[in-house]
Amino acid sequence: MKRLLTVITVALTAVMILALAGCTESGGASGSGEINIGILQIIDHPALDAARNGFINGLAEEGWVEGENVTFHPYNAQGDQSNAHAMAQHIVESEVDLILGIATPTSQALANATTTIPIVITAVTDPLMAGLVESFERPGTNVTGTSDLTPVAQQFALLTRLLPEARVVGIMYNAGEVNSQIQADMAKEQARALGLEYIPGVAPSTADVAQVTESIVERVDVIYIPTCNTMAAAYSTIVRIAEDMGVPIIAGEEGALPQGALATEGINYYNLGRQTAVMAAQILRGEATPQEMPIQWQEQTTLTINTAAADRLGIVIPPELLAAANIVEY
């Protein structure tokens, strides 16, 4: 069945790419002035969707408005790496002017598909470790963009302030995602530095998340989840199981809070997408090349607390944290 779905997905993609090719023959940066931008996203979830929307709106602020002088061609791999590679190849063959890669797996697929078309990336934790650039300061490839490296130290400091009696942390991630593994290693280091025990909960796919959560939830006081695409796609499952056991969740990004996570201190993915759009605009205007444009980070973080989750779990939030936080209720 999975093979059939993959074949259908690729077939549909091929049909879409024929339409895309028709657009690029009449458009293109060197023709009428209209440009074509491919977008490849690994999966739907709030953080990545926000980054995509921020990019599109950010380019409009830079003068490239959809329907006027730019056409976006979005593709979504639905969490399947084979889809990502097939779609990356289709985008490259359509001869778009620039490509946006959203998340590490799709950015790697795009980089493998072309070394000439400019690629800007976003929501990629470590472009160097992912093999996308030669260095942060000077990428040296056709890839540049923004990193969503999570402020893990700040998030663990938040964990200890919200849950001072917590002693054992469950760290849930997919070791198959480079971005997730990097952050999990950082989380383990922070736990050790704070004298906390940790129990890894490694789920190689969304289908494994429920079982992995159930296997650790009775042994931990809190669950920490970095910005992991696999976990993000299954947040509702993790929250349901954890809340039934009275275990709170500290998240790597604020998109987890509408699913019921307790709190985070992290970046804003919409603004990260806008930041990436500014970089793309510089490339499109001929002011910079990916090879010479350093990777960027978002320096400002936002403390967000889900008071509804705190109430369900019987957690009292310190007044000083409430005063400093963006309060949501989910």
pLDDT in tens, 264-313: 999 999 999 999 999 999 999 999 999 999 999 998 899 999 999 999 99
Q: Is residue 23 part of a domain?
A: no
**Residues 212, 307 share a domain:** yes
Q: Would you give the distance in Å from CA 231 to the centre of its chain?
A: 11
- Flag the least confident range among 23-32, 182-191, 271-280: 23-32
Name the packing angle between helices 46-61 and 269-284 (round to 10°).
40
Percent of the chain with pLDDT over 70: 90
* Vertex 141 angle, CA 227 and 146, to 5°: 30
Top pLDDT among 99 and 28 is at 99
Query: Residues 150, 252: contact at Cβ < 8 Å?
Result: yes
- Flag the least confident range among 13-22, 57-66, 67-76, 214-223: 13-22
Beta bridge partners of 326: 304
Query: Which single residue is written with the structure tokens 């929250």?
Result: 239
Q: 32-36, 77-81, 190-194: which has the highest mean pLDDT? A: 190-194
Give the model's pLDDT for residue 28: 38
CB neighbours of residue 219 within 10 Å = 12
CATH of the domain at 52: 3.40.50.2300
Q: Is residue 238 part of a domain?
A: yes
CB neighbours of residue 12 within 10 Å = 10
CA distance 302 to 50: 15
Q: Is residue 324 part of a domain?
A: yes
**Residues 187, 255 share a domain:** yes
**Residues 194, 54 share a domain:** no
pLDDT at 11 over 70: no
Query: Residues 304, 325: contact at Cβ < 8 Å?
Result: yes
The model's pTM: 0.84
What is the average per-residue pLDDT within 240-267? Answer: 96
Q: What residues make up the domain containing 185?
A: 152-266+301-328
CA distance 281 to 283: 5
